[in-house]
Amino acid sequence: MKKNITAAILLLMFNSIVVAQKIEKEGPKGFDQLRPAIAHGKIDTISYASKTVGTTRKALVYTTPGLPKGKKYPVLYLLHGIGGDEKEWLNGGTPQIILDNLFAEGKIKPMIVVLPNGRAIKDDRATGNIMAPDKVQGFANFERDLLDDLIPFIEKKYPVLKDRENRAIAGLSMGGGQSLNFGLGNLDKFAWVGGFSSAPNTKSPELLVPNPEEAKKKLKLLWISCGDADGLITFSKRTHEYLYKNDVPHVYYLEPGGHDFKVWKNGLYMFSQFLFKPVDPSSFSTYTLLGSQPETNIRNAKYPQILPDNRVVFKVKAPEAVKVQIDLGKKYDMVKDAEGTWNLTTDVINKGFNYYSLLIDGVAVADPSSESFYGMGRMASGIEIPNKEGDFYALKNVPHGDIRVKKYFSRATNSWREMYVYTPPGYDNATEKHPVLYLLHGGGEDQRGWATQGKTNLILDNLIAENKAKPMVIAMLDGNMTGVTGFDERALKAFENELKMGAIPFVESNFKVATDAKNRALAGLSMGGLQTLYAGVKNSDMFSSIGVFSSGWWANSTTLSDPQYEFMKNNTATINSNIKEFWISMGGKEDIAYENCKIMMSKFDQMGIKYKYSEYPGGHSWPVWRHDLFMYAPLLFK
């Protein structure tokens, strides 16, 4: 009796230790090596009757050391890959050693681990053509074998807890796909689900998690891990991206490595430490060794990398440099290592597109590892940060329009100029004439901005596919006027002339577009917003709609603004009659144009100018302007 009480006290103390245990970011050296001096668990081979397959099947069962009798324990079902069987983990991954070591250190809960054969067919050996259709089908059949035959057998033979909170499933490769498919497909059975390097058998994310809200409520832990050099990483990545977009808490753990047991052993080491104890979902994003490469990296560039919480890891090889910084609006000092590589992990970076520069010994240069974009008056680097609200500009399987780069000779400037033109899906074969939106960039940018940083084509493709916007041509113009310095009425007048004498005549002569005011709109961001206010308002007979994004007449420049307000005051009725949609938007109070815009709108109210106002948080930035176009385009040409 005294011995049993002592064992119970020790087990209680052990449980309190594992709850409080902090989990490392990877297995330390020797985590998978046999330690003779510690207690070792037991491995049994079992046979169970499978009604699903119609035969007797085998599995291995591991129990952590010294499980006292009279108690019940949680269960982990650990699945193998397409070329293995119930012994694959034992032969290649030494799970018993990993778990023994963790248990000895007080890092895992006492548990029972079942290693089944995931190929649920009569001849379930890993021989012959393992990719034969019947053998591959056997992995799908295993779901019923697991739920209807194996789990009931384990729960009858072993002292296990039978509720979902005490049942976990995980696996490698094909077994990783099974674990995600079966675990997420049976949330009434599993609360802990892990996929290590999950294979192509993994269902699409929409089928894996058709109800994100249910998954949030029922899952204790969803673990997805993979090696960065694994050819199957796309299956893990697409699942992570869907979960991120739908706010389903999960760990997305990337590490150096391929499709092998080095990665899978570390996956088991990490995953098992979370099981069957309280977890903090807010910490999940910190568990990874590597980040994902953003879409703005050049081909094969491993850095920058974006961590799951949207911090960014930069590495720059510059052994001769004295000081290297990253300028993301905030300047970060990098730290040089012994190999001459400068390293940095930033704070959390704003979602969507961000300009940045390298500062090498004080000189601002573009990062050779990232795509460059014309912004800030020069070629600068850009990084695209995941945005769960950015589905509207995602590349989707819908009909796509084209971006056409056109050179034209302008009578206004007596020079060659360039515009980018979006034509909607089906434009080339269309007989009807399309309406046109003339779209303007901001200061320090040019005609490329809306096409590249702005993702205009994807936004319109998606809107048109959903019947939310009319098919339209979008002419993205260069608002920079050669020979005009500063920003005053002379510069605005120069752009107005270019718009009327150069851009519009070229578009109407070379594209299948309607040429009346009701089929023209003008919009712009920041500097382009001022150009829109000037040219659009003074020529309200030419446009049915104008859009002003993150802009407004300058309150501290009455020389520029007062004549504009005077013109509007004298022509209020005409402006209200002609402009059917006068749409103004801002990026919240953090937008540098916010106060000017607020003052401008108050003057509009006094004059009786009719307008609509929209606000989207994010400041003076491309994520805001993308959203502006997404909101504005559906209003046009109704």
pLDDT per residue as tens digits for the range 487-512:
789 999 999 999 999 999 999 999 99
Split at pLDDT 50, 70, 90, the class of 348 is very high
| Residue 136 burial (CB count, 10 A) | 16
Task: Give the pLDDT score at 484.
Answer: 79
- Specify whether domain 305-385 bears CATH 3.40.50.300: no
29 Cβ contact list (under 8 Å, min separation 6): none
- Tell me the CATH architecture of domain 2-286: 3-Layer(aba) Sandwich (3.40)
Task: Give the pLDDT score at 482.
Answer: 84
SS3 assignment for 115-180: EECCCCCCCCCCCCCCCCHHHHHHHHHHHHHHHHHHHHHHHHHCCECCCHHHEEEEEECHHHHHHH
Q: Coil, strand or helix: which one is 463?
A: helix
Asked whether this chain's domains 2-286 and 399-635 adopt the same fold, the reply is yes
Split at pLDDT 50, 70, 90, the class of 16 is very low
Task: Give the pLDDT score at 20.
Answer: 40
| Global pTM value | 0.86
The CA distance from 585 to 547, in Å, is 8
The residue extents of the domains of the chain are: 2-286, 305-385, 399-635
The CA distance from 160 to 179, in Å, is 20
H or E segment to which residue 271 belongs: helix 261-274
DSSP structural state of residue 515: -
CATH of 399-635, one of 1.10.20.10, 3.40.50.1820, 3.30.70.20, 3.30.365.10: 3.40.50.1820
pLDDT tens digits along 61-120: 999 998 888 899 999 999 999 999 999 999 999 999 999 999 999 999 999 999 999 999
